[in-house]
Structure 1
C-alpha cells in the first residue's frame, strides 16, 4: 500500500508540474511575458501557488524549466548530439544545414517559442541570461567538434556567417508572426516562400564550405 501511495504521489507531483509549465506557456502566448505573475500562473494551472516554490524553488526555477522545454537550441545538448552521431567527415555541413532548417520550422510552428524570443529581446532576466549562456555552450561544442577542425584559421569567419544566418531566421519568423508575411517579396507563411528561404540557407552554407 505504501509503494502505491508513493507512486501516486509522484504522479500527482508530475501532473501538477506539467500544469504549471502549461500555464506559463498559455499566459506567454496570450498576454506576453508581462502577464507571468505568480497568482495568474497558479490560477491558470489550478494549483496552489505555494507549489511553485515547492516544485521549482520559485518563479525563476519555473521559468528555467519552461525555457529548457521550449527553446530549440537548448535541446541540442552535447548528450543529444552524441545520440545523433552526426556525420563529421564533411565538417558538419549536412548537420548544420539540417539543424538550421529544423530551427526555421520549429520557431514558425511554435508560438510559445516566438514569445520567448521576444521576451529575451525586451527584458534582462537571470533565467533568460542562463538560456543564452546554455545556447552558447551547446553551440561552442558543435563548432569545436565539427567546424573548427574543418575551417581552421577561417573558423571565425564561418562563425560570423552562422551568426547572421541564425539571427536572420529568427527575425523572419518573428516578422511573419507579428508585422506581416511578406519580406523582400518572399511570402514567409507560404510553403513555396519558406522553401525558398531554406534553399537560400543551403546556398549560404555551401558557399561558406566551398570558399572559406
Structure 2
C-alpha cells in the first residue's frame, strides 16, 4: 500500500428504522366492527331488511361470518348496534345530553326547533334513515321495538325539562310535538317515496322544504306564546 494511501474509517450511520404503524388487535377490532356495522346498512339499501343474515352481512363486509358472533354475539345485536348509530334520536340524545351537562339544564324554544329542523333535513337527505322508518312501520321486530322504547325514554327526559314551561295552561305540549314530529316523518317519507306534492307543497324542492320549516317555527311560536300568556 503506497504512502499516499490513507486508511479512512468510514462512519456507517445506523439506518433509520421506518416508522411502521402497526394496527394491533384493538385497532383491528375497531375496524372490523365498523365494517360489519356499515355492511348492515349496505345490505338494507341493496337487498332490504329481509336479507339481513349473517352470510349476507359478512359477504358485504368482506369478512368471515364468525366475526359477527365473535364481536356481537349474533346478527340481532349487530343490527341493534347499527340502529343505535343510525337512528336520529339516538344520535341526538348524545348531543343533547352533552349540551345539557354544560348548560343550566334548560331547553329553549329555539333548541327544540333546531332538533325538528335537523330531523326533517336528515330524513329528506338520508335514504337509509327512511328505509329504517319504513322497516319499523312494516314489521314487528324486537330490536326495532327496543330502539323505539329507547327513543321514548329519551323523549321523557326532554319533557321533564320542557313541561314546567307549560304548567297552569291548557297547551298540551306532548300532543303538539307528537303532531309536528309525526308530520315530519310522513312528509319526508311521502315526498321521497313517490315524489308527489302534499297539500300542493313539494318538499323535494327548497321552496317547499322552507315552507314546512317556517310552519314548524310558527307552530312553536304559537305554542310558547300561548303558554306565556296564560301564566
TM-score by length of 2: 0.82
Decide whether the 8 Å contact of 1:76 with 1:138 is kept in 2: no
Indicate the RMSD between aligned Cα atoms, in angstroms. 2.2
Is 2:169 the partner of 1:150? Answer: no
Q: Which residue of 1 aligns with 2:178?
A: 163
Query: Structure 1's 126 and 64: CA in aligned 2 closer, same or farther, altered over 3 A?
Result: same
More helix by proportion, 1 or 2?
1
1:95-106 mapped onto 2 (5 Å cutoff): 95-106=111-122
Worse-superposed segment, 11-20 or 133-142:
11-20
Tell me how far apart the structure 2 counterparts of residues 170 and 19 of structure 1 sit (CA, whole Å): 29
Could you tell me which runs of 5 or more consecutive residues in structure 2 were left unpaired when the two chains were aligned: 1-19
Tell me how far apart the structure 1 counterparts of residues 209 and 200 of structure 2 sit (CA, whole Å): 12
Decide whether the 8 Å contact of 1:38 with 1:49 is kept in 2: yes
* Greater Cα radius of gyration, structure 1 or 2: 2
Q: Which residue of 2 aligns with 1:135?
A: 151
Query: Structure 1's 60 and 186: CA in aligned 2 closer, same or farther, altered over 3 A?
Result: same
Q: Which residue of 2 aligns with 1:186?
A: 201
Worse-superposed segment, 155-164 or 36-45:
155-164
SS at match of 1:47: coil
Given the alignment, which residue of 156, 160, 173 partners 2:188? 173
CA shift for structure 1 position 64: 0.9
Given the alignment, which residue of 58, 73, 78 partners 2:89? 73
Query: Structure 1's 51 and 164: CA in aligned 2 closer, same or farther, altered over 3 A?
Result: same
Could you tell me which runs of 5 or more consecutive residues in structure 1 were left unpaired when the two chains were aligned: none
Worse-superposed segment, 179-188 or 192-201:
179-188
TM-score by length of 1: 0.89
Q: Which residue of 1 aligns with 2:219?
A: 204
Query: Structure 1's 92 and 33: CA in aligned 2 closer, same or farther, altered over 3 A?
Result: same
Q: Aligned pair count?
A: 206
